[in-house]
């Protein structure tokens, strides 16, 4: 069975974005971008919310048309276009680029998606959607890329909760730019 893998970049103090959706503090160099490409290329699909999808769809479908695009950007544009995507939204009317709109997180439907034939885990992105998936016990792994910065305020990855989620460290890796990958299995 495929796994649901929450994949996010966070500041050291736990934010995914600063005020006004600022992510300029992300430290993404060629090495880290190549890691993202290699990891996502092996995925069987991407799960995200409307905001995340619209941000990605505003850039990646044509990012490789820019003559100044780096090889990793060109590569990721093709990965993103071809990857099956599931966007959870009650308001989005249509979506292109191999995207299926899903109105609600229904645990039985997510389990059925995990059990579909095919290879590759399912990458989950977005703090709000992650909170819903975690609340239903649907997240199998958490991959955090912790950026070497404190931003002080913004949108936290994990909302306040009374639920304890036990994790087991599976991998850690330090990139040359100071970003640290922390990969955890969620204990059931």
Whole-number Å distance between alpha carbons of 77 and 29: 16
Q: How far is CA 132 from CA 73, 124, 125, in A?
A: 30, 11, 12
Whole-number Å distance between alpha carbons of 144 and 67: 31
Cβ pair 7, 124 in contact under 8 A: yes
Write down the pLDDT at residue 153. 96
Write down the pLDDT at residue 33. 97
Write down the pLDDT at residue 141. 97
Cβ pair 86, 52 in contact under 8 A: no
* For residue 4, pLDDT beyond 90: yes
Nearest in space to 140 (alpha carbons), one of 117, 118, 113: 113
- The residue assigned the tokens 């880290």 is 32
What tens digit of pLDDT does each residue of 43-77 get?
Answer: 999 999 998 899 899 999 999 999 999 999 999 99
Torsion of CA 86, 91, 93, 94, to 10 degrees: -30
Q: DSSP character for 131?
A: H
Nearest in space to 8 (alpha carbons), one of 134, 106, 118: 134
Whole-number Å distance between alpha carbons of 98 and 91: 18
Q: What is this structure's pTM?
A: 0.93
Write down the pLDDT at residue 187. 85
């Amino acid at each position: 069975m495929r796994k649901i893998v929450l994949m996010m970049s966070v500041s050291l103090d736990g934010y995914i974005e600063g005020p006004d959706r600022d992510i300029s503090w992300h430290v993404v160099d060629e090495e880290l971008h190549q890691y993202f490409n290699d990891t996502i290329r092996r995925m069987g699909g991407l799960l995200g919310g409307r905001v995340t999808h619209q941000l990605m769809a505003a850039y990646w479908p044509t990012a490789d048309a820019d003559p100044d695009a780096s090889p990793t950007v060109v590569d990721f544009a093709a990965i993103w276009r071809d990857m099956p995507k599931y966007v959870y939204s009650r308001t989005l009317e249509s979506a292109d680029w191999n995207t299926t709109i899903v109105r609600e997180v229904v645990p039985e439907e997510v389990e059925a998606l995990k059990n579909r034939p095919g290879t590759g885990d399912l990458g989950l992105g977005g703090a709000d959607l992650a909170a819903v998936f975690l609340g239903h016990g649907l997240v199998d792994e958490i991959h955090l890329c912790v950026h070497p910065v404190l931003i002080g305020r913004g949108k936290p990855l994990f909302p306040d909760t009374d639920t304890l989620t036990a994790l087991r460290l599976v991998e850690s890796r330090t990139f040359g730019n100071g970003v640290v990958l922390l990969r955890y299995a969620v204990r059931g």
